[in-house]
């Protein structure tokens, strides 16, 4: 949480982290310190831009922009059907804006298909939680980092990717065992007590082996298993073949190391297991996440301080997107396919139920294929940059050229995607508008307006209000007057749901309380003088399936779609590069300070043995080539990667020239972290 330290009427000039806020406790990472500076960029979008006949983007009035938006999209729908227009949302705007966008598009404009860039970071965790628990419900609170005596990080490097969380780990006074499962010797792995440097995409086999040893060594909480789970017999039968001896060679981990990790988890009084993109961005990520969940369940590590199977969110408001984007799930995490849910949402919103589609949207990858197949003719992109971030970037850029009309709504007009746009709508950024974010631990926090947006840029919320008016559906959204009014609608939709927030007494209480975690019902608000700061789920052992039990889910191992071979003998890994980079650098590259904290030129980590074969030394230029493209990068010769592996940070524009388009079948999340490449010296 941040507080302005000096400001005029419209312009905050400094920030300081709040020491009492329960998330960061006075700590901050470089990106936080520079949060205001990136708003001052020369690349900010100041005015609407419309592509002219000569191909240039020229400034136009908001009236022209909104009229063009309406006429062009309505024309596409009239000619090709409502499903020919789609939108791609984001985890970067506030929850109230996400709810308004999804409702406007689907209930007002008749758009069938829309998804968010949360599909690229958290969809796997969502799928895993929903199948295992019956609802998308991360069970933990950040205090659990300090309460565990055994922390397991799977495909997660919080030291770099989530530094405030890592600071919480460092505050742990229990001298915890820290176990890291990662193919790279990351900064977090270097600080661990056990690093299982497994072969890429062998994580499911390794987790099944840990599970097998827990069962064989009788390190199971059978009271918890029998009372609160189902499927244990099937789980035990499935993992029986995954003995440490059977998977050791496949995983590249000695048998004794596998057993030691299992013993550490099984004998801990409070073990917590954490994962992020190394698991989620995988073609079998949902089952890997569920293997992590299984371990926490069978050892009884739920509902107590320092426990849980805990997904770490990839962007600031991915949780808001998961609950409120109205894309593949109906607004508030209801189901489009349920007539009862549609009727309830319609009555709550005061709209005709016929405005609500009876099926969910295509997922992001399906929308992309819809463009390829000519089914999607118009696309509205809000606060995300898929021309950089989408897997197999070169292919995606070509597909953008097939669209009849592309609208990009963003705070910057120089992103890779905005440069392709037919229409650019200038939006306000964080600190220039009001609303709520929901963090990894389910905490609603208030975003405050501390300065004006530049030029004629508007808050996304106000852009949506204007579009509703120009589209002719302003009366449908008459109650959606401001973000806090929409927050009250969200409260009504959440009532008596797992994500109930009906007990929050508006924005003022959110601000005064240091944020509030869901669930916080009206009944709870009447019982508590103030909201409890640390709210864990499942302390009563009841999950969200009808029988109240969690499901133990297993599956067969899936072969890597594109393993290394003679022609492409190396495996490309991608991920977070440094603490000062964030996603596509859309913001971080606009800070002079942050730019000094990471290499400006793309680099690739390669093992000294591979470097010697190429006659390459540190700093030489090398070419990395896949079946989809090739890039030139600087060689960083380091033993942090194993021989045969190459690591390139995800932030550089070039990395997705190489990646292979393949997806988890359950979550539709792209698998960014495995494709075959070859190397040569330039």
Write the pLDDT tens digit of every residue in 297-315.
Answer: 999 999 999 999 999 987 8
- Examine the domain organization and report whether 154 and 103 are in the same domain: no
- The Cα–Cα gap between 253 and 196 comes to 6
Q: What is the pLDDT of residues 576-631, one digit of tens each?
A: 888 888 777 787 888 888 888 888 899 999 999 999 999 999 999 999 999 999 99
193 with 307, same domain?
yes
What's the mean pLDDT in 661-672?
96
pLDDT digits 0-9 by tens, 225-235: 999 999 999 99
Is 362 contained in some domain? yes
CATH number for the domain spanning 383: value is 3.40.50.740
**Residue 544 domain-assigned?**
no
Total of domains in the chain = 4
Q: Are 346 and 378 in a shared domain?
A: yes
On whether both 391 and 435 belong to a single domain, the answer is yes
CA distance 551 to 222: 15
Query: At which of 503, 527, 551 does a domain end?
Result: 527
Q: Which residue has the tokens 């002079």?
A: 592
> Are residues 237 and 277 both part of a single domain?
yes
Q: Measured between alpha carbons, how far is 22 from 670 in angstroms, rounded to an integer?
A: 33
DSSP-derived letter for residue 302 is: S
Q: pLDDT tens digit string along 109-149?
A: 999 999 998 899 999 999 999 999 999 999 999 999 999 99
Domain that holds residue 369: 44-120+319-527
CATH of the domain at 180: 3.40.228.10
Q: What is the pLDDT of residues 559-586, one digit of tens each?
A: 999 999 999 999 999 998 888 887 777 8
Asked, for residue 564, whether it belongs to a domain, the answer is no
- pLDDT, one tens digit per residue, over 497-527 is 999 999 999 999 999 999 999 999 999 999 8
Domain membership of residue 559 (yes or no) is no
Examine the domain organization and report whether 345 and 483 are in the same domain: yes
State how far the Cα of 348 lies from the Cα of 356, in Å rounded to an integer.
13
Is the same domain home to 354 and 476? yes
Rounded to 10°, the helix 460-471/95-103 angle is: 20
pLDDT at 124: 96
Looking at the structure, do residues 197 and 278 belong to the same domain, yes or no?
yes
Please check whether residue 216 lies inside any domain of the structure.
yes
State mean pLDDT over 179-186.
Answer: 98
275 and 393 fall within a common domain: no
586: domain CATH number is 2.40.40.20
The answer to whether position 200 is within a domain reads yes
Residue 542 included in any domain: no
Residue 560 lies in a domain: no
Which of 527, 557, 581 is where one domain is finished?
A: 527
Indicate the pLDDT class of residue 529, thresholds 50, 70 and 90.
confident
* Residue where one domain finishes, among candidates 271, 293, 311: 311
The answer to whether 585 touches 43, Cβ cutoff 8 Å, is no
pLDDT tens track for 328-358: 999 999 999 999 999 999 999 999 999 999 9
Is the pLDDT confidence value at 10 over 80?
A: no
For the chain, the C-alpha Rg in angstroms (whole number) is 24
Q: Are residues 499 and 366 in the same domain?
A: yes
Pick from 220, 307, 227, 305: nearest CA to 542: 227
Q: Which of 660, 652, 616 is nearest to 635 (CA)?
A: 616
Shortest CA distance to 516 belongs to which of 496, 537, 501? 501
- Which secondary structure element, helix H or strand E, spans residue 443, and what is its range? strand 443-447
* 157 and 85 within one domain: no
Q: Identify whether residues 281 and 373 lie together within a single domain.
A: no
Q: What is the mean pLDDT of the chain?
A: 95
Contact indicator for 174, 272 with CB cutoff of 8 Å: no
């Amino acid at each position: 949480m941040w507080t302005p330290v000096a400001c005029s009427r419209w312009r905050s000039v400094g920030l300081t982290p709040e020491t009492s806020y329960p998330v960061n406790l006075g700590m901050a990472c470089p990106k936080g310190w520079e949060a205001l500076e990136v708003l001052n960029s020369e690349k900010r979008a100041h005015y609407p831009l419309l592509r002219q006949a000569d191909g240039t983007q020229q400034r136009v009035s908001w009236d022209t922009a909104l009229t063009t938006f309406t006429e062009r999209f309505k024309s596409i729908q009239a000619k090709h059907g409502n499903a020919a227009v789609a939108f791609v949302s984001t985890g970067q705007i506030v929850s109230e804006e996400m709810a308004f966008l999804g409702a406007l598009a689907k209930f007002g404009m008749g758009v069938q298909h829309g998804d968010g860039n949360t599909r690229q970071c958290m969809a796997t965790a969502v799928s895993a939680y929903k199948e295992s628990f019956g609802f998308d419900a991360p069970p933990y609170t950040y205090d659990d980092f300090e309460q565990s005596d055994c922390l397991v990080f799977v495909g997660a490097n919080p030291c770099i990717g989530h530094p405030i969380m890592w600071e919480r780990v460092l505050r742990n006074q229990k001298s915890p065992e820290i176990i890291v499962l990662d193919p790279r010797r990351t900064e977090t792995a270097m600080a661990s007590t056990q690093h299982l440097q497994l072969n890429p995409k062998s994580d499911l086999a390794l987790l099944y082996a840990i599970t097998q040893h827990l069962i064989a060594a009788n390190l199971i909480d059978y009271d918890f298993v029998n009372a609160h789970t189902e499927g244990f017999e099937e789980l035990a039968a499935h993992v029986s073949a995954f003995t440490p001896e059977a998977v050791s060679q496949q995983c590249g981990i000695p048998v004794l190391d596998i057993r030691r990790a299992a013993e550490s988890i099984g004998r801990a009084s409070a073990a917590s297991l954490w994962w992020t993109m190394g698991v989620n961005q995988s073609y079998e990520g949902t089952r890997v996440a569920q293997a992590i969940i299984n371990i926490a369940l069978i050892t009884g590590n739920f509902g107590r301080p320092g426990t849980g199977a805990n997904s770490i969110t990839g962007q600031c408001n991915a949780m808001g997107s998961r609950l409120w984007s109205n894309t593949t799930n109906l607004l508030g995490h209801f189901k489009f396919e349920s007539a009862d849910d549609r009727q309830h949402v319609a009555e709550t919103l005061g709209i005709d139920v016929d405005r609500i589609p009876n099926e969910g949207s295509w997922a992001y990858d399906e929308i992309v294929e819809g463009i390829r197949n000519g089914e999607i003719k118009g696309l509205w992109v809000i606060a995300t940059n898929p021309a950089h971030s989408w897997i197999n970037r070169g292919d995606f850029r070509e597909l953008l050229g097939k669209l009849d009309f592309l609208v990009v709504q963003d705070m910057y007009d120089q992103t890779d995607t905005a440069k392709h746009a037919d229409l650019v709508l200038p939006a306000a950024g964080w600190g220039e508008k009001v609303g709520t974010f929901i963090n990894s631990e389910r905490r609603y926090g208030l975003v405050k307006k501390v300065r004006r947006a530049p030029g004629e840029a508007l808050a996304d919320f106000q852009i949506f209000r204007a579009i509703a008016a120009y589209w002719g559906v302003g009366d449908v959204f008459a109650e959606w007057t401001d973000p806090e009014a929409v927050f009250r609608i969200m409260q009504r939709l959440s009532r008596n749901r797992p994500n109930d927030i009906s007990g929050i007494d508006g924005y003022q209480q959110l601000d005064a309380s240091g944020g509030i975690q869901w669930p916080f019902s009206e009944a709870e608000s009447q019982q508590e003088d103030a909201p409890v700061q640390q709210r864990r789920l499942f302390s009563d052992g009841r999950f969200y399936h009808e029988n109240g039990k969690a499901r133990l889910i297993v599956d067969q191992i899936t072969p890597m779609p594109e393993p290394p071979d003679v022609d492409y003998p190396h495996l490309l890994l991608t991920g977070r590069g440094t603490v000062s980079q964030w996603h596509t650098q859309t913001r971080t590259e606009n800070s002079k300070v942050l730019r000094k904290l990471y290499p400006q030129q793309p680099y690739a980590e390669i093992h000294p043995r591979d470097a010697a074969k190429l006659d390459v030394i540190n700093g030489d230029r090398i070419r990395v080539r896949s079946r989809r493209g090739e890039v030139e990068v600087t060689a960083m010769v380091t033993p942090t990667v194993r021989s045969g592996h190459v690591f390139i940070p995800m932030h550089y524009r070039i990395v997705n020239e190489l990646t292979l388009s393949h997806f988890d079948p359950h979550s539709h999340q792209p698998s960014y972290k495995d494709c075959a490449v070859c190397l040569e010296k330039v």
